[in-house]
Structure 1
Amino acid sequence: MAHQSSNRSGNAGQAGSRDPKHGWEAKVTVPPLRVATFTKQLAIMLRNGIPIMQALATLSHQEEYPNFGVVVSSLADRLGRGHSLSRSVAEFPRVFPPLFSAMMDLGESTGRLTESLDRLGDWLERDGDFFRRVKSAAVYPAFVVAVSALLTLALFYTVLPQFVQIFIGMGIQLPVITRVMIFLTDLVRNPGFWMLLGVLGCAGWIGLRRAWARPAGACAIFRILLRLPLAGRLLSYASTARFASAAEISLDTGLDLARTLELGARASGSPLILADAAQIVKSLTQGLQVSEHLGLRAGIYAPALAHFVRAGEEAGDLGIMLKKAASFYEEEVNHMIDTLSAVLEPFLLLGVAGIVGTVLLSVFLPMYSYLGQLGP
């Protein structure tokens, strides 16, 4: 015991020399499913009577994610210095979402920390799976576009330059499509083009990041994304599903309605919903129902959410209807992902075929014209 106490004191002393808010640990990112696994493991260990300090020390051995292990060790250090778990996890907002800290605070105050961890672990796992599926929808199109770009560049660098020299030697009037291809070949092979493209790309990326860092800029960008065909509706449904899911678990755990809606907004991933969180609370203080407020924000939330919430308010069980809304929109997103993949695949393949066909036409049309001039 004395040895454990001295180790704990030593760890606390080391932790006291750094502040996670300003150190590299605060910038650590961990996959949500890894955090979900950690949360469930911690709940199991606490339920079986293992002290929280010992449980965290055991869980700090993260071979696959060593940086996460350092974060868990830091949590143990802070607990050893008398901080609560909710306050400790709040120091790592890029690892633990705001809902995590809020539910830990509620679990500590009610003596139901293990139950809070169980529910939180289930939510993190479900949300992580859902978010990963949404991200995977962009993988196949991005792969096809990348392969098409590489194929086109290979043609411009290897095949077309050789034909350009042949066409020049023919001394014939080249078709428009061939002249365009010659121009593009010269352009792509010019280092200045790539330098200009790199400068413009970097400037655009920096500008987007700076705009996204500001609430008004993030909202403007998100509104543009929501206008995209099919993909915009996918984003709207996905953010609404995450909002409803986080709000449901917060409300069911015992948090007040205003805090519930705030946490749901922060978990949604939508800057529009996040910006509207304060307005929801303001509407509640003015006597409006949540469903009435949502009905006035059709461009921010998916349309049917207001109907789900109104049914929950009338039945006196808002949590159940939020859960049903989350399940409904998650199923819609899954269906849309399958539809998007099925719709995009032929268009992407058609695009690749169009590129190859255009290049072939630009090569064979001059040759056909030249052979026609030679005569029989």
Structure 2
Amino acid sequence: MSNESRAEVLARLPLRDDLRGRTPYGAPQLEVPVRLNTNENSYDVPGEVVAAILDGVRQQARHLNRYPDREFTGLREDLANYLGHELEADQIWAANGSNEVLQQLLQAFAGPGRTVLGFTPSYSMHPIITAGTGATWVDGKRGKKVQPTDDPAQFDLHVEETVAQIKEHRPHVTFLCSPNNPTGTALDLEVVKAAYDATDGIVIVDEAYHEFARVGTPSALSLLEGRERLVVSRTMSKAFALAGVRLGYLAAHPAVNDAVRLVRLPYHLSSLTQAAARAALWHSDVLLDTVEVIKSERDRVVTSVRELGLSPAPSDANFVLIGGLNDEKAIWRSLLSRGVLIRDVGLPGFLRVTAGTPAENTTFLDALADSLLDAPVPA
């Protein structure tokens, strides 16, 4: 190897011009006692589910000389049964994490010469996946046109502003998030309906955190009937505590899945992934027991943070966006020095924390109270 830096060599490589100067996605992976920065489910997979997954994988292991079921038929049937809403297997698609699902959708419906609209702040992978597929990202904005405050409501998405931006930019694909990341707030379905009616393109509602929504929060799955360009994406990484399995999926008109088949790689879901995901779905009641505990803890974090004089968003996810911080970077560093890792999402005055176990949340809240003494909330 030469003494040249990797950056120097990268500069000489024939990289696509539109990728030069970009940085890859990455959340800090630091070894600290309390990690609450990546919205993982803090609870280990229950023993009976581990046993079922191992049994399913064991049955597949002897046949690994064969390619997996390319259409993952059994898994699609199980996912349709789990989602309900009278969905059928041919309306379901799955891939290695919801990011790959979204990538395949953009490969099919976006790409060079096409535009993708999202409303920031939102999931930071959406523009990265857009760039990776050669499409043009349009950075739409949330909230009404008011001066920024420490109130997370400034990031809400409203019908009028959403429709105006769609009509202005005429995107081929529009991203909506419900609950939104990093704000944690669910989306009024009137926004989804209005966005769909305002475009001839694909509308993707990213519902990665829907299982954590408060009681009565509707899903965009209820809007699929009669809307052939509407897609709802989900994941098993969060509520199912299977981030390590990498299984994301979507529900849409069967023709959308036909389009995705044109770009998917052959046999993209391994036999082992299919077996693990199906075993988990067969035990969904056990896995989802932790969801109610996490929701309760999330609400405790919201209440406790508010009592500290800060401005948390009322969350429908497994995390809380905290506003009202005078110096969010100083608070982040102070928390890290106390063994607690949360997420700086790049919003001045805000930080995001995952709702962990009761013990983890107590540690975070105590550390936050101490950190605020070092960098107090502005009067």
Sort the TM-score into its range (normalised by shorter chain): under 0.3
Q: Which has the higher helix share?
A: 1
TM-score normalised to the size of structure 2?
0.20
TM-score normalised to the size of structure 1?
0.20
Q: Which has the higher strand share?
A: 2
Higher relative contact order (CA 8 A, sep 6+): 2
